Each structure stands twice: as C-alpha cells, then as structure tokens.
Amino acid sequence: MARVEFADSVAGDFERILDFLLKNNVADAATQIDQLIDALSVLEHSPHIGRPVGRNLRELVIGKRARAYMALYRYVAPADVVLVLAVRSQREAGYSGP
C-alpha cells in the first residue's frame, strides 16, 4: 500500500478552494474539503489510477460537474510514495503550484 503525502503548497490549494466555496455561500464547504481529502486515499491502493500528464506526473479527477476537482501527483514506485503536488477545481485554468 502506497503512502500518500502532500506537498506544502497543497495546503494553500485547499485554503483557496475553501475560500471560494465560502465566498459563494456553499453550505457544506468544509465537508467538501474533507471529502476531497478522503477521495485522495484511493491513491494508496491504486497509485496509477490517474491519467498520465507527462514528466512522470499523473492527474486524478475527483467528483463531477460543479464539484469536480483535479489532483496533480507523482508516484515514486521505489519508495511506494504518492506525492500530491497540487489540487484545483476542474474549472480553474491551471495549477498554481508546481
């Protein structure tokens, strides 16, 4: 089972998403963030589940429609570690981090 770790910048991604949800009066904003973090646990058992996006990076789609998010990550097989590099809304133009 792979270990999932988060880059330091991912905390800022979650804050940005939460701020957006709160600004738009989404009633279950904190729950959405919790569900987003929980969804990333699939990478423990299936680190290759995300689509390849180049440079040894993968992208996991989480949710659907207005509640869809993208997680950019790298799987380091020798160490059996998944490093989540960035998280964004599917509607955002790109990642702010890496």
In the prediction, which pLDDT does 97 show? 54
Q: What domains sit in the chain, N to C, each tagged with a CATH number?
A: 3-89 (3.30.2310.20)
Whether 7 and 84 have beta carbons less than 8 Å apart is answered as yes
List CB contacts of 55: < 8 A, sequence separation 6 or more: none
Region 34-48: what's the mean pLDDT? 95
Region 22-32: what's the mean pLDDT? 89
What does pLDDT average to over the chain? 91
Whether pLDDT at 57 is above 60:
yes
Q: Which residues pair with 52 in a beta bridge?
A: 58
Strands, DSSP E only, in 1-98? 3-6, 51-54, 57-62, 69-76, 81-89
**pTM of this prediction?**
0.88
In the prediction, which pLDDT does 54 show? 85
What is the C-alpha separation between 72 and 61, in angstroms, rounded? 9
Tens digit of pLDDT for each residue in 29-39? 889 899 999 99
In the prediction, which pLDDT does 47 show? 98
